[in-house]
Chain A
Amino acid sequence: MMSENKNNINRRHFLKDGVWATCLAGLAGLGGFLLSKLKKNNTVWQIDPYVCVACGNCATYCVLEDSAVKCVQVYEICGYCDICTGYLEPEANPPDTGAEKELCPTGALKRVFVEDPYFEYNVDEALCNGCGKCVKGCTVFGNGSLFLQVRHDRCLNCNECSIAAACPSQAYKRVPANEPYLLKKMDHA
């Protein structure tokens, strides 16, 4: 009999529980919303890839010994070409690996044969110094799949970023900390 009473939910209880549940859900939602707003007010530095001119300042102006700026690759945009203008020196012939043929001074951009006629290009972040030589070659002549981004596992988020101060194209922006990357899109005109 006791268990029967316990499981017996009448309309009043049901409505009461429902109101409580709704209030709690509303409070949780409000809390989440306020938290996200609060987080959005926290901003970090990022490079707008469509404004960046790959001048090379990112490699030398960062206060860190190893710049927080690294090259990133959007594989969706890459053409997987043999003659890659982001990878090869203009005079490199035939297209191949080798220090004298590669634009990257540190060998951070790696080239891997996929299948005829495609080659994949990957960035070794540990070697990348953010000089943007590959970015310039890829942007001026190619699809623009390589571009520079401030990596937030490295960036100190200085109040006055020394690279931003030296950026000739004003590509540095403050972006919300919860959306810290400005990635290129396939359909960008």
Chain B
Amino acid sequence: MKESTVAKTLPIGLAILGVILLCVWLGSDAAKDLKERLPGEDNRTKTLIEEDEPVKITGRLVKYDGVPAELPGAWPRFRGPNCDAISSDANITLARSWPDNGPKVLWSVDVGEGYAGAAVLAGRVYVLDYDQENKADAVRCLSLDDGKEIWRYSYDVKIKRFHGMSRTVPAVTEKHIVTIGPKCHVTCLDSMTGQFRWMLNLVREYGTKVPQWYTAQCPLIEDGKVIIAPAGEVLMMAVDAATGEIVWETPNPDGWVMTHSSIVPMEFKGKRFYIYCGGDTASGGVVGVSAKDGSVLWKTDLWKVRTNVPCPVIVGDDRIFLSAGYGQYENGCTMLRLTEVDGSIVAKQEYIYPIEAFGSMQQTPILYEGHIYGVRLDKQLVCLDLDGKVVWTSTSANKFGSGAYMIANGLIYVLNDTGVLTLVEATSRSYVELAKAEVLPGHESWGPMAIVSGRLIIRNLNRMICLDVTEQ
């Protein structure tokens, strides 16, 4: 039987076609539809530095008819007299329950968008506000009695809305008030009259990079010296409050950048130093700088996070509790223990826990009677023992968000994001809620609290109020 030509050539043809197709398939670029994801594709351009901004900005002082209150007590800086967010004024009895509508509102003032809290001294309330209408940082001095303005010192700075504008608390003494503005302008004024004393422009003079969402570092005044961390060309510096002259500077060889965390003083084995959490994940850590001469007494990179906001919490004589939140999963909190080895101070890590145990985005937790109190990222108020173990939580039925909190006379005052103030017993036994009231309806009640003479000053994004929380 004779095979047809078609029957003979078809398999061969198909085989050749198959080989050709295989070659084409193997020869083609399998990844031709794939696109590399590379740096710089967002077309980022400039930084926050404004080229035309002057190094020193001339401000203006305006006096008003407010009168300082005749009330004792002081909350002279961020987190109060002892940098611990605790008030222990034994002369005042604070209410343990409130009427349904909450404590009496003594006064209320409009403030520029932000989170800047108040410092209080000699019956005066000091706020570094942002004047949105005139585009200026405004150091405002108000009466603790009625919130009426006593004076205002303003200097022009253009700030765009970026999760608010203002976010620092001034440091005040009988002679000086020092503020750090959103774009790192350090201003010193006479605390009584508002007269200008001196100014530093950290961006232009020290190469500071303004952190995302603007500066949140609050200044510290000790022994007539202003302690700030430019984290630019120098890491930390002390400035004579009276003259504005530099007393000492700490070099910044590792190029740590400025964080939102503030400097906290500590004493260990007779040495006083200033602790600062600086830098980021590329280069950062915790440093202890001598209060005497600005030398670095100890430094560690055991704790470096991308966005450092909470301050160090001093635990006893030799430990430091650190916490973080933004974008963190594993680095929620840690405890460092300082030891002296051959005359040098060394920091060792006792534990590090993820955010599920404890982590905080903005607020600094509080050490009170051997326990740590703070609001976790799941928005629950928690009590930790010093080993970082959770003692109690407020449970998911009682959430607080990123609101501010503090302790006064054994009571925790804690705000939620929308202005509901809750009074909780500061005890490690259990979560005991004593009172709750919506006192400041609005958004983002994140500004730090201050309390003086039973007057609690709180704020949300646009308004600051003073509550009478004394027992009636």
Contacts and interface: CB of A to CB of B under 8 A. Distances in A.
Interface stretch (A26-34, A64-72, A91-99, A165-173): A91-99
B37 A93 contact: no
A102 B37 contact: yes
Contacts of A99: 36-38
A93 B280 contact: yes
A81 B39 CA distance: 17
Contacts of A91: 281, 306
Interface in B274-291: 280-282
Contact of B377 (A80, A90, A116, A140): A140
A155 B33 CA distance: 26
Of A101, A107, A111, A140, most B-chain CB atoms within 10 Å: A140
A93 B281 contact: yes
B329 A90 contact: yes
A111 B330 CA distance: 25
A118 B160 CA distance: 10
B41 interface: yes
A186 to B, nearest CB: 9
Contact of A85 (B48, B282, B327): B327
Contacts of A176: none
Contacts of B46: 116
B439 interface: no
A62 interface: no
Interface string B276-312: 0000111000000000000000000000001100000
Contacts of A118: 160, 162
A113 B48 contact: no
Interface in A84-138: 85, 88, 90-94, 96-99, 101-102, 107, 111-113, 116-119, 137
Contacts of A189: 417-418
B143 to A, nearest CB: 33
Contact of A117 (B42, B160, B326, B328): B160
Nearest to A116: B46
A21 to B, nearest CB: 49
B316 interface: no
Contacts of A141: 325-328, 361, 377
A96 B39 CA distance: 6
A96 B42 contact: yes
A85 B306 CA distance: 11
Contacts of A96: 39-40, 42, 44
B53 to A, nearest CB: 13
A113 B41 CA distance: 9
A79 interface: yes
Interface residue tally on A, bucketed by range: 20 to 34
A99 B34 CA distance: 12
A79 to B, nearest CB: 6
B371 to A, nearest CB: 25
A91 B304 CA distance: 10
B37 A97 contact: yes
B163 interface: yes
B376 to A, nearest CB: 11
Contacts of A177: none
B216 to A, nearest CB: 14
B213 interface: yes
Contacts, number: 81
A73 to B, nearest CB: 16
Nearest to A107: B37
B42 A119 contact: yes
Nearest to B326: A141
Interface in A160-189: 187, 189
Contact of B212 (A98, A102, A117): A117
A97 B42 contact: yes
Nearest to A186: B443
Contacts of B396: none
A74 interface: no
Given A81-B163, A82-B212, A137-B327, A116 B48 contact: yes
A98 B163 contact: no
Contact of B45 (A102, A113, A137): A113
A15 B163 CA distance: 63
Contacts of A83: 212, 306-307, 326-327
A174 to B, nearest CB: 25
Contact of A113 (B44, B282, B329): B44
Contacts of B282: 93-94
A93 B418 CA distance: 33
Given A93-B281, A113-B42, A81 B213 contact: yes
Given A137-B327, A141-B377, A113 B280 contact: no
B326 A97 contact: no
Nearest to B35: A107
B126 to A, nearest CB: 27
A23 B190 CA distance: 80
Nearest to A88: B327
Interface in B9-52: 35-48
B77 to A, nearest CB: 27
Interface of A: 79-83, 85, 88, 90-94, 96-99, 101-102, 107, 111-113, 116-119, 137, 140-141, 187, 189
Interface of B: 35-48, 160, 162-163, 212-213, 280-282, 306-307, 325-330, 361, 377, 417-418, 443
12 contacts: A83-B306, A85-B326, A91-B281, A94-B282, A96-B42, A97-B40, A99-B36, A117-B48, A117-B160, A117-B162, A117-B212, A137-B327
Given A79-B163, A141-B361, 18 more contacts: A83-B306, A83-B327, A90-B327, A90-B328, A90-B330, A92-B306, A93-B280, A96-B39, A97-B37, A99-B36, A111-B41, A113-B44, A113-B45, A116-B48, A117-B160, A118-B160, A137-B327, A140-B377
The 6 A-B pairs with the shortest beta carbon distances in the complex, nearest first, are: A99-B37, A97-B41, A85-B327, A98-B39, A111-B42, A90-B327
